[in-house]
A and B are shown apart, each in its own frame.
Chain A
Amino acid sequence: MTATAPSKTKTMTMVAAINDALALALERDPAVHIFGEDVGVMGGVFRATDGLQTRFGAERVFDTPLAEAGIVGMGVGMGLAGLKPVAEIQFAGFLYPALDQILSHLGRYRHRTRSRYHLPMVVRAPYGGGVHTPEQHADSPEAILAHTPGVKVVIPSTPADAKGLLLAAIEDPDPVFFFEAIKLYRSVKEEVPEGYYTVPLGKARVVTEGDDVTVICYGGMVEVAQKAAEAARAHGIGVEVIDLRTLVPLDTDTILASVQKTGRVVIVTEAPRTGGFHSEISATVAEEAIEFLRSPIVRVTGFDAPYPPFTSIEDVYRPNPVRVARAIRQVMAY
């Protein structure tokens, strides 16, 4: 956290912390505008924008027509012309109509105008499973974004981080995707600093320290990894859990420092297996720290199938502590 982090705290859920960050951003910078489907009158389907329209007016916090390409494309124009667009896509699985605007434009403006123009846009999107949503509401499309040059990707795992990272994302001069794990919106509460502070993008968080295995994760998978790490610790295995916080920029220093210490790596995500961001991490470790590895890198992921909307088995798709613990045992076997 920045040195300016206020010392007073308040117990908050992640969604409350996000709401708090958005209010502070609106207060601080008149260029900030919040828009999307149902974000105004209703305050968002998850209440992340609750009360903001009443407080800051319908010019700065407004409902758009139902069209993701329009939402992102309009944001591009707003950003080019000097505003700070903070758009909400109702669920990350409904980001796809906007992919043309994202892949064709959002990430390219600085590059294609030699920095004459840039896009200080933030796109917030709830993502991930574990809460029994209908089809396509539980997607984890972060790898698609991370693979898009020119956009940053942020995925917080705690209320305090969510607030500080979101404020940093809004301050950032470049486009940032901010994925919020639906599972975490209300399931965790913690002390969150009051007032304005930022958590820098590109700096991972070492959640717990350990000497035997490095477990790399982010967003909704952090609590899953932590549970597995606790179980392993009971068996005398020291697990270092690293919460990436941001995929772009990626904090390879923290990853490599940990791998040099432990020599064993487990990566946990809930996205489909093939071509996921976990594979990028795995390749990075293999390229930069192979000589420190004492075992193969093991990925614990979703499957190469759409996220199942079948309530009774969705928890099989989404990595759970048992699967992570099994992976830890697997790398310890070497």
Chain B
Amino acid sequence: MSQPQTTPPDPLTAGAAAYEDAQGEMFQTLAPDGSVIRPEALPDVPTRLHLYRQMRRVRHFDERAWVLYRTGRMGVFPPYGGMEASQVGTAAALTHDDWLFPTYRDTGAALAYGLPIPQTLAYWRTSPHGWAMPQDLKILPFYIPIATQYPHAVGAALAERRRGTANVAMAYIGDGGSSEGDFHEALNFAGALDAPCVFILQNNGWAISVPTRTQTRATNLSRRADGYGIPGVRVDGNDVLATYHVTAEAVRRARAGEGPTLIETVTYRIKPHTLADDPSRYRTDADNLGWDAKDPVTRLRAHLLAEGHLTEEEDTALTREIEAEFEAALAVADAFPEPTPAEIVDHVFAEPTPQLRRQRAQLLAEEQA
């Protein structure tokens, strides 16, 4: 399982019935201690192990990013630690024929989807190598302006349908982002035009310093789907088997021509907004209370150990494998050459305008001077 999968793990063991139940209540498969709540919704064991491995990988990235930032080897980085189930479980339900539109918070989703680690590091190190998207992945660079990606997903989904494929588009957003007009317009368009879209709304409690209760009177963001006549699902965002289950069902629906779905993953941003942010200015330790106990990685680990699907030895071996993978990728990223000034004006148009040509010549002349 060292390569990211290109086909979604199959099959769903439960399907539509459990999905129907999820409307309104919060869908869960595992209790925080790892015990099974909803056996009928568990994916098969290889899939569970795949999701576990991906969560460990992306958690390792998040932890190493922090260290690299501290030592000046990383730019501004928005951490997602604690939100791995929300990102991995959703991204894992796609194939590489589908589209993924991530925000800055979704490095974990991008990695789980298959964005190579060196490139991901390069993006957050502000190197152009992080902007060159792989040919074999339908993924866009992390979206920095809030909510603008949502209408794009609708457009990409429609384009796939027009081309006669069964491919879908998935976009992420935060609870704060769901206040923007683009979010609402996209949901409405997707519903009205039957676009094969899966909208992931990660409700992690905060938009920088603004808690969800200041953001909106709505207490169940999945219900926003009602206004647009599309299904809304609320899922425990720290339960990866649950996020995977409901997303896989939403993807199935979209592929089958049954239209878009909004999925609210209820999770928490344990870490600062970015590594440059100081959350003590706007929240107390009490606000965070209880969220460590809901940790998505330890939850699935407890389940896998208890059911005998994973041994301590295998887990230790996995740790070593993940560390080695990251260090090798870091070496690749370290070897990317620094950009040259003329790159500023490259890739603006297919054919540079006369003005850009002049500006490029000027940059080259200045480089020489």
Q: Which residues of A line the B interface, CB within 8 A?
A: 37-38, 40-43, 45, 63, 65-70, 93-94, 96-97, 132-137, 273-274, 303-306, 308-313, 316-317, 323
Contacts and interface: CB of A to CB of B under 8 A. Distances in A.
Most interface-central of B207, B210, B281, B348 (chain A CB within 10 A)? B210
Nearest to B141: A135
Given A63-B209, A66-B146, A134-B104, A305 B344 contact: yes
Minimum-distance CB pairs A-B, first 5: A42-B209, A65-B179, A66-B176, A316-B341, A311-B126
B164 interface: no
Interface string B47-66: 00000000000000000000
Contacts of B104: 134
The majority secondary structure among interface residues of chain A is: loop
A305 B177 contact: no
10 contacts: A37-B208, A63-B209, A67-B180, A134-B75, A134-B144, A135-B144, A303-B344, A308-B339, A310-B128, A316-B344
B6 interface: no
Interface string B195-213: 0000000000001111000
Contacts of B179: 65-67, 70
A305 B348 contact: yes
Interface in B255-285: 281-282
Contacts of B208: 37-38, 42, 45
B71 interface: no
Nearest to B352: A304
A93 B145 contact: yes
A40 B209 CA distance: 9
Interface stretch (B38-46, B233-241, B298-306, B355-363): B355-363
A317 B75 contact: no
A309 B126 contact: yes
Interface residues of B, number: 41
Nearest to A66: B176
B319 interface: no
Contact of B181 (A42, A70, A317): A70
B54 to A, nearest CB: 25
Given A66-B180, A311-B126, A303 B209 contact: no
A186 to B, nearest CB: 14
B272 to A, nearest CB: 12
B76 A41 contact: no
Contacts of B339: 308, 310, 312-313
Most interface-central of B145, B182, B344, B345 (chain A CB within 10 A)? B344
A63 B210 contact: yes
A37 B181 contact: no
B344 A37 contact: no
B145 A96 contact: yes
A311 B127 CA distance: 8
Contacts, number: 112
A66 B207 contact: yes
Interface of B: 75-76, 104, 125-128, 144-148, 176-177, 179-182, 207-210, 214-216, 281-282, 338-341, 343-345, 348, 353, 355-356, 359, 363, 366
Contacts of A274: 355
B363 A304 contact: no
Contacts of A311: 75, 125-126
A97 B181 contact: yes
A97 B344 CA distance: 25
Contact of B338 (A65, A304, A312): A312
Contacts of A93: 145
A271 to B, nearest CB: 14
Contacts of A309: 126
Nearest to A308: B344
Contacts of A94: 145-146
B343 A37 contact: no
Given A37-B208, A68-B180, A97-B180, 6 more contacts: A63-B214, A69-B181, A93-B145, A97-B148, A132-B75, A135-B144
Contacts of A42: 208-209, 281-282
Most interface-central of A65, A66, A97, A137 (chain B CB within 10 A)? A66
Nearest to B175: A66
A313 B64 CA distance: 25
Most interface-central of B144, B281, B343, B348 (chain A CB within 10 A)? B144
B345 A304 contact: yes
Contact of B144 (A66, A67, A137, A310): A137
A222 B179 CA distance: 38
Nearest to A73: B181
A273 B359 contact: yes
B355 A66 contact: no
A244 B338 CA distance: 37
A193 to B, nearest CB: 29
A132 B124 CA distance: 12
A313 B215 contact: no
B144 A313 contact: no
Contacts of A63: 209-210, 214
Contacts of B216: 65
Contacts of B126: 132, 134, 309-312
Contacts of B207: 37, 66
B184 to A, nearest CB: 10
A67 B184 CA distance: 11
A37 B210 contact: yes
Contacts of A135: 144
B144 A305 contact: no
A317 B282 contact: no
B345 A310 contact: no
Contacts of B344: 303, 305, 308, 310, 313, 316-317
B343 A313 contact: yes
Nearest to B143: A135
A316 B363 contact: yes
A242 to B, nearest CB: 25
Contacts of B214: 63, 65
Given A94-B145, A134-B144, A273 B355 contact: yes
